[in-house]
Structure 1
Amino acid sequence: MKFYKLYICIVTVMLSSSSCDSFLDLDPISDATSTNAYNTASDAEAALVGVYDSFQAEYYIWDNVIFSDVMSDNYYAGGDNPEVFAVDNLDIEPVNGRLFSNWSQLYNAIFKANVVLDKVPMIEDPRIDLANRREQILGEAAFMRAYHYFQLVNLWGGVPLVLSPTSSTSPEVTNVPRSSVDEVYNQIISDLTFAIDERLPYTYGSDASVNKARATRGAALALLAKVYAQKPDRDYARVLQYADAVIDSPAGYSLLGDFNHLFDGNHYNNAESIMEIQFVGGPEANFGPQLLLPPSVSGDTWRKFVTPSRDLVSAFDQEGDVIRKNASILFESAPWVDEFWSLQVNGNVPFAFKWKEANGWASTNRQYLIRLADIILLKAEALNELGRTQEALLALNMIRSRVNLPAVTTTDGAELKLLIEKERRLELAQEAQRWMDLKRYGRAEEVMNSLIEIDLRTNQPKVFNMDAHKLILPIPQQEMNRNAQLNQNPGYN
């Protein structure tokens, strides 16, 4: 990745007087099996490039949106892919190819982090210890391993914990049984605690394009807040502790005054961003916008994916939330039939619009990995759960005031809980948060089974048959075939 190579080159210059010309040509180390491959500070930096490179995998470009926003009440599948339709319909079978693709990409990312965590401590090059760089590298790798496991445990529940690299292909080595959900969360917390403990800095200097690209202490604190909110035995005192640590961070995070600036393509690496993927164009580009944006933007006329649902549009309208609706959704004439919006060609259809530029499959538009508004709303949730309703209202209304919505006033904690959930839906649509929110609030079954979405072809509502087993995905069949120690999630064949 040229961008990450550039900032690591800057670090290398600080550690050595040598030129970066040859270093810029290094490929990310993602699958080295020889200890001889990790001898120098530059080897460590190249290995770290490979870890960051995983954020440009398809899962983080748009499949995370499919398995959160499309899977929920926010978006329809759109497009023409049967496997995405299955996700939309909550009718996912173990043979769905997207499962194995996502599983493989996330574990590949973990394997690359494992290499760094295993090999970097043994490097004897003294340059790696200048400016605490060895410990920073280890902290960055640990954060990213935790981030990927957070995705896995929320998608599949308990998964195999693989914490060291291996060069063997023997089934005795590669076939790892599933750990429990609690064990996975404990490992995530352990990795994040390790990363924070005098390893990750709040910033790497004054360059926002570096600070928002890399794992920082603020990013690790934010992820800890999300972890303690999401784990089965959630701890809202810890959520509040870590959310406050982010909000009060020396990194100086703050909400942007204009919500539109988050997504107009001209204000990335902003003060609200805690971490984002640095798509810079060319080979380091985001292909996702081409799949979602309307013909007037994408320049093509085939049916697009991730169509906003009538229920989501209605939620914006009922709240009078014009600013976030217009920033998130664009209505346009579509040269195809849409079964939920128009049976007539050239009918008015909404498009997912938090990305604004397609650029022929080479967009620089980004998806935030973590941003401050998410953490402020988590703080509101934690305060409410801790019985501090008035303080929770202050946090919630901070988010609402930015988009010119009136302040919420209530003394009822149960009512406020639903208001916070709704605010998260409107604030974070198309940001791969909705399904985790519905699960955390214990409302996925209620919401999906009461959802009325009419298929105009039959004039009948969609039937989701949502029940508890669908809260997590089936283990991919290809992985079940490969690893005899895995057992399938309940309710799946």
Structure 2
Amino acid sequence: MKTIKYIKLLFCITVLPLLTSCANFLDVNPKAEVLNKDLFETDEGVEDALYGVYSTYRGNEIYGKYISVLYPEAMSRNFTARGGGGLDYLSHGDFENGSARTLSNATWKRSYQAIGYVNNIIQNLEEISPTKFRHYNLYKGEALALRAMLHFDLVRLFAVDYNANDREAWNKAIPYVTRYSYDITPYYTVGEVYNKVIKDLKDAEICLEEDRQLVQAERTNVGTEFTDCRIIHMNLYAAQALLARVYWMKQDLDSAAIYAKKVIDSQKFPLMASSDFVQFEKGVLNMKETIFGLYAPTYASNCYSIFGKSSGTDMLTLNSEYEDLYINTQGPTPEGSDLRFSAWFGSTLEVSPACVKMINAMFDGGSTESQYSGESYLGVSLIRIPEMYYIMAEALLVKDPEQATVYFDKVIESRGMVKFADRSEGQITADDIYIERRKEYYGEGQQWFNMKRLKKDIQISESNVLDGRVDRNYKMLIPTDEDLRENYD
């Protein structure tokens, strides 16, 4: 079964890092050459290698907790960090604090290990004839896109923004590692990293052409073959959507719109109907709107460990003002409601205030198992279709505001609210897009990155505001050699 294959390389994920040279924090090359050669003798071996990568990506230090929700939700102040741990310091912009650095160091180290695994796959494939494997292009395309995605999130977390004022920091962003070797990869500029991300994604787009037939608009989680259930793979449309996100982040909105429109026009990812919110199943990938997500059966309990517990460090509670975001007199009956509010938020748990995690997790004693219908995948959605409509709206806002409103209203209407075209104002504004994007992705780790690109101030408290124009306020600290040597040794 596919779920078994996701854990089949447990040895590779947990043991091989221990065999890695510790002399430099970018030494991510396991020495198990016999295992490497064996894996790339058969289709099943390559597929197992890829499943091993997905398993690593869903680890706590990467998308299983830290990158997908913990860091950006705390730093954007969507949630309030409590407990006095590293997350509390990160949320206050105190990136120098030792506890905060321990968290960021763990993500840096684990991310580059994961990139090493991806590069191992890519290099082995490049040394093999494409005719050797039945899905050679899919294997390579997924690996290229996975490499791009993680580098992109690392540059967004650990480097200044693409349009930063601090050129010295801009000139030393992060390493973009493309070889599985002992060579030390140099640091690149922010612009160079973005260019490498874009190149990998465009190469992946070419390789993943088969997904035009493989990805179906009506999806189920039935199937055990590599080509089944493509939304839990880095598929063609995920690569295109990620390209749209990358261009959006660098504020090249014309290019972003090209790729967002490709995904929308594929008609593979319908927006939910208003009726879908009535019995909204949480803790799973949305079988309509998810373009790419990670199968992660423990994600809900991971979220519970930071949102639902009553004591300890690195905990989050909902910002006390979150309800105000969803009060909208243009909502459905009863007046002032928003379908997202009633579907995504719930009653408090054993602590107050507390959050029943929207979209990504449902808390049931820290587990979703007893309430899981089995019709989707337990996991975390990393790219959903509403984002593509928001990008189109932002890209068209000045040049064609009427058409921008049309794209925007697709999401607004699906959430049960009165379309902007039918309101007194008639058209949307940049503020409307900003607010609706925050409401749509509350809890999904997107708000901080949007604030970063727009240089928004971060309201820490009534008397403490981090200036959004100061680039260091939006940049986690890159570990030193010594930081990571302590972890290795």
Q: TM range, normalised to the smaller chain?
A: 0.7 to 0.9
Q: Residue 27 of structure 2 aligns with which residue? A: none
What's the CA shift for 1:430? 0.3
Q: Say whether 1:438 aligns with 2:451.
A: yes
Q: Secondary structure at the match of 2:212?
A: coil
Q: Secondary structure at the match of 1:306?
A: strand
Q: Residue 411 of structure 2 aligns with which residue? A: 399
Q: Secondary structure at the match of 1:120?
A: helix
Letter paired with 1:403: R
CA deviations on 1:337-359 (whole Å, 9 max, x unpaired) are: xxxxxxxxxxx524152121345
What's the CA shift for 1:477? 3.7
Q: Residue 151 of structure 2 aligns with which residue? A: 149
What's the CA shift for 1:208? 3.9
Question: For 1:290, which of 304, 307, 311 is the aligned residue?
Answer: 304
CA pair 291-311 structure 1, distance change in 2 beyond 3 A = same
Q: Percentage identity across aligned positions?
A: 23
CA deviations on 1:219-245 (whole Å, 9 max, x unpaired) are: 1110000011112xx321111111110
Q: Residue 217 of structure 1 aligns with which residue? A: 236
CA pair 475-198 structure 1, distance change in 2 beyond 3 A = closer
What's the CA shift for 1:185? 0.7
Q: Residue 162 of structure 1 aligns with which residue? A: 177
Q: TM-score, normalised by structure 1?
A: 0.76
Q: Residue 353 of structure 1 aligns with which residue? A: 357
Q: TM-score, normalised by structure 2?
A: 0.77
Q: Residue 18 of structure 2 aligns with which residue? A: none
CA deviations on 1:47-69 (whole Å, 9 max, x unpaired) are: 21222112211121221222212
- Separation in 2, partners of 1:219, 1:372: 10
Q: Say whether 1:121 aligns with 2:126.
A: yes
What's the CA shift for 1:481? 6.8
CA deviations on 1:434-483 (whole Å, 9 max, x unpaired) are: 0111122x2422xx2xx3745xxxxxx45546533112111124566769
CA pair 241-125 structure 1, distance change in 2 beyond 3 A = closer
Question: For 2:247, which of 217, 228, 237 is the aligned residue?
Answer: 228
What's the CA shift for 1:273? 1.0
What's the CA shift for 1:110? 0.9
CA pair 87-322 structure 1, distance change in 2 beyond 3 A = same
- Separation in 2, partners of 1:352, 1:40: 46
Q: Secondary structure at the match of 1:191?
A: helix
CA pair 367-45 structure 1, distance change in 2 beyond 3 A = closer
Q: Residue 17 of structure 1 aligns with which residue? A: none
Question: For 1:73, which of 70, 77, 93 is the aligned residue?
Answer: 77
CA pair 275-137 structure 1, distance change in 2 beyond 3 A = same
Q: Secondary structure at the match of 2:445?
A: coil
Q: Secondary structure at the match of 2:346?
A: strand
Q: Secondary structure at the match of 2:348?
A: strand
What's the CA shift for 1:141? 0.3
CA pair 426-359 structure 1, distance change in 2 beyond 3 A = same
**Bigger Cα displacement from structure 2, 241-250 vs 412-421:** 412-421
- Separation in 1, partners of 2:452, 2:299: 32
CA pair 213-28 structure 1, distance change in 2 beyond 3 A = farther
Letter paired with 1:40: E
Q: Residue 16 of structure 1 aligns with which residue? A: none
8 Å Cα contact 1:156/1:475 also seen in 2: yes
Q: Secondary structure at the match of 1:429?
A: coil
